[in-house]
Amino acid sequence: MISTLAEVGRPTALVIHGTAEVLDLLTRWFEASRLDVVSAMTAYRAQAALEGDRPIDVVIAPWDPTHPIGGEVYRWVLAHRPDLRNRFVFIAEEVTPEFDTIVGGRCLAIPLQEIEEVVRVASAIVRRVRTPPHGIPIIRDRDRPTLLIVDDDPPLLEAMARHLFDEGYTVTQMESGNQAIDLLERREFDTIVCDWHMHDGSGADVYRWLVKHKPQLAARVVFLSEADGDDAGSVAPGRPMFRKGQDAEALLTILREIVELVRAG
């Protein structure tokens, strides 16, 4: 099975705005679109909702010189909930100069006058969050080796998960090193494929945590990198590292060898 972000129940939109009239307008539009709505007029209340137990499928927030609250919440998400960084729709007449730098093309900014477009984009995000990767059967097979893949590039992560699923693995995906560490506290995997460079917890961070807390898993890690010359070096001596998009067969060979050792022993 490939773990996805799909949740049960009606999807939930977190709607943020510091103006009560606008917040009420947005709430009514999204409720009419059959979403449950959690509303927040301050960054503090928005962060509390994002830290809560209720899954948030999409976030609608303003980000312009008059209403900077959306930018404040988004910076918090980058630091604390990076898995949500591509679930935002921003409302803006004109974006601040820092918008593109911070958002990095992950989200759109749409004027409030185009509220139907805001709803359409938000609904598309919900469908993406709720839909398993196309064509991948969701099955449980105890004979399949379990594999955790960690990468903060969602399209690449999904593509690699598909490929490794097709190669016979039960795949779990995580979008940051810190997310992976949280999961590894509760679960073990036959093998782990981890990006070396990530914004929220690097491959080196994951490996150091394993050595300290679950040393039996440290020998199951394979690293990926986009840069020539990267080496696990003194952090993870002897652990293999592969360039993304290259040496696919060599990567599969190493993974098979790791699984054989784990299951033999």
Cβ(154)–Cβ(104) under 8 Å? no
Q: 156-162 long-range CB contacts below 8 Å, 24 or more apart?
A: 156/244, 158/133, 160/193, 161/2, 161/133, 161/136, 162/2, 162/133, 162/135, 162/136
What gap in Å lies between CA 183 and CA 202, rounded to an integer?
15
Confidence at residue 228, expressed as pLDDT on a 0 to 100 scale: 61
Residue 60: alpha-carbon gap to chain centroid: 18
Confidence at residue 94, expressed as pLDDT on a 0 to 100 scale: 79
| Fold classified for 12-130 | Rossmann fold (3.40.50)
Cβ(195)–Cβ(228) under 8 Å? no
Confidence at residue 7, expressed as pLDDT on a 0 to 100 scale: 40
**What ranges do the domains of the chain cover?**
12-130, 146-264
| Fold classified for 146-264 | Rossmann fold (3.40.50)
What gap in Å lies between CA 165 and CA 140, rounded to an integer?
12
Confidence at residue 100, expressed as pLDDT on a 0 to 100 scale: 79
The two domains 12-130 and 146-264 share their CATH topology (first three levels equal): yes
Judged by DSSP in three states, 234 sits in: coil
CA atoms within 13 A on the CB side of 194: 34
Torsion angle defined by CA atoms of residues 131, 83, 2 and 261, in that order, rounded to the nearest 10 degrees: 170
What gap in Å lies between CA 72 and CA 11, rounded to an integer?
24
Q: Provide the residue-wise pLDDT of the chain in tens; the chain has 265 residues.
A: 444 433 446 899 999 999 999 999 999 999 998 899 999 999 999 999 998 888 899 999 998 878 889 999 999 988 888 878 889 999 988 777 788 788 877 888 999 999 999 999 999 888 877 765 444 444 445 678 999 999 988 878 888 888 888 888 988 888 888 888 988 988 889 999 999 888 888 888 999 999 999 999 999 999 988 766 566 667 788 888 888 777 788 889 999 999 999 988 7
Confidence at residue 132, expressed as pLDDT on a 0 to 100 scale: 54
Q: What global pTM score does this model have?
A: 0.53
Pairing of strands 108-110, 170-174: unpaired
Confidence at residue 137, expressed as pLDDT on a 0 to 100 scale: 44
